[in-house]
Amino acid sequence: MKKFAFIFPGQGSQTTGMGLDLYNNFECAKTIYDTADKVLNKKISEICFNGPDETLKQTINAQSAIVTTSIAALEAFRSKCDIQPSFVLGHSLGEYCAMYAAEVMDLETTLKAIQKRSELMDNATKTTKGTMAAILGAKTEDINKSIEEASNIGLVQIANYNDPTQIVITGEIEAVNKACELIKEKGARKVVPLAVSGGFHSKLMDSAKEGFISFVETLCLNDAKIPVITNVDASLTTKNNDFKIKMPSQINSSVMWNQSIEKAVQEGVDCFIEFGNGKILSGLNRKICPEIKTFNVSNSETLKTVIEDLTVGV
C-alpha cells in the first residue's frame, strides 16, 4: 500500500482561468466557489475565472483565490476517489488548505482566516517597503554570509527554503538588492527578483502577525484528524492550540518547505498529490525527492489521469 501526502501550493501559483473546469464539471467544486463568494462577500469565482491578471495577483485576492481553487480540486478528487493521506502540508498560505483537509477548520473558517491573513499582510506592505528574490544554485552558507554582510544596510532574511537548489530571500529593498549582489559574486547560478508587493515572511510582517494573533483566538479550531507538517518547523502538528501559535508565526517566519517534504519522506510517504493550480510543488519535489512520484490535480483531465494511474498502481 502506498503512503500518501496531500500538498497545496501558495501565492504565485495563480493564473487567470484557474478552477473554471472544476466549477463546470463537479458540483462539489461549484459549491466550494459559491460558498467562497458568499463568505468572502466578493465574486472570488469571477476573479479566478476571468481575472484580469492584475486583479487576481493582488495579495488580497490571490490568497483567497488560491485556497478556494485548491480546496475545490481536493473535493473534486474526494468525490471520485477514497484515498486518504497519512500527512498533509501546504506551502505558506497552502497550509490553510492542509488544515482544512485535516479538519482543523471547516470551509467557512478557512476562508475567513485566509481573508484576514491577506488583509493584514496587504496592510503591512503599505507601511513597510520590501521585496523578495529567488536564489538559484547557491550554497546555503554563501547565502547566509551574504545576508549577514547586507544586514548592516537593512533587514534581509531567508523567506523560503524551497528545494536544495532554490532559496528565496526577503526584506527591505536596499538590503535585499545588496544581498543579491553579494550572492552573485559568490557564484550563484541565477538571482531572480520577484514581482511582489512586500517583503513577506520577514520581520516586515510583524504587524500582520500581531494582528492575526488576536484574530486566531476567535476561531474554532479542532485537533487535526491527519497530521499537518507545518511550515515554521517542519514538524507533525495535530493539537489545535499548537495551530493557534503557529498560524500567526508563519506570517513572518521562513517557510521550511524543503525540510517539510523531507520530513514526509522520512515518515514513509512514497507518493504525493498536489491539489491546485499549476505544478509548482511538483517541480520542487523533483529536486527534493526525485525518486518519489508527485501527481497534480487541477482540472477534470488531470483528475482522471491521477485516478487511472493510482488504480493500476503508481
Q: What are the extents of the domains in the chain?
A: 4-125+204-312, 133-197
Domain pair 4-125+204-312 / 133-197, same fold:
no
pTM over 0.85: yes
Compute CA 102 distance to the chain's CA centroid, rounded to the nearest angstrom. 16
Confirm if 68 and 32 have CB atoms less than 8 A apart.
Answer: yes
At residue 195, the pLDDT reads 86
Closest CA to 261 of 240, 287, 224: 287
At residue 313, the pLDDT reads 56
Cα distance between residue 221 and residue 213, in whole Å = 14
* Cis status of the peptide bond prior to 52, with omega within 30 of 0: yes
Closest CA to 123 of 211, 202, 203: 211
Active-site position among 13, 64, 197, 201: 201
Q: Which residues of the chain have pLDDT under 50?
A: 314
Residues composing the chain? 314
1 residue type, one letter: M
91 flagged as catalytic? no
233 residue type, one letter: D
Q: Give the CA count within 13 Å in the CB-facing half-sphere of 72.
A: 32
Q: Give the CA count within 13 Å in the CB-facing half-sphere of 77.
A: 27
Residues 6+ apart with CB under 8 A from 302: 295, 296
Cα distance between residue 186 and residue 145, in whole Å = 10
Angle of helix 94-101 versus helix 107-127 axis, rounded to 10: 160
The cell for 294 is 508527485
201 flagged as catalytic? yes
Strand order in the sheet with 271-275: 236-237, 228-229, 87-90, 4-8, 271-275, 293-297
Q: How far is CA 102 from CA 119, 232, 310, in A?
A: 24, 18, 22
Beta strands in 93-141 (DSSP E): 130-136
Compute CA 140 distance to the chain's CA centroid, rounded to the nearest angstrom. 22
What separation, in Å, do the N-terminal and C-terminal C-alpha atoms of the chain show? 10
Query: What's the CATH superfamily of 133-197?
Result: Malonyl-CoA ACP transacylase, ACP-binding (3.30.70.250)
Tell me which of 3.40.50.2300, 3.40.366.10, 3.40.30.10, 3.40.50.300 is the CATH number of domain 4-125+204-312: 3.40.366.10
Q: How far is CA 98 from CA 7, 57, 132, 168, 200, in A?
A: 7, 22, 25, 22, 20
At residue 129, the pLDDT reads 93
Cα distance between residue 100 and residue 206, in whole Å = 25
Active-site position among 64, 70, 92, 146: 92
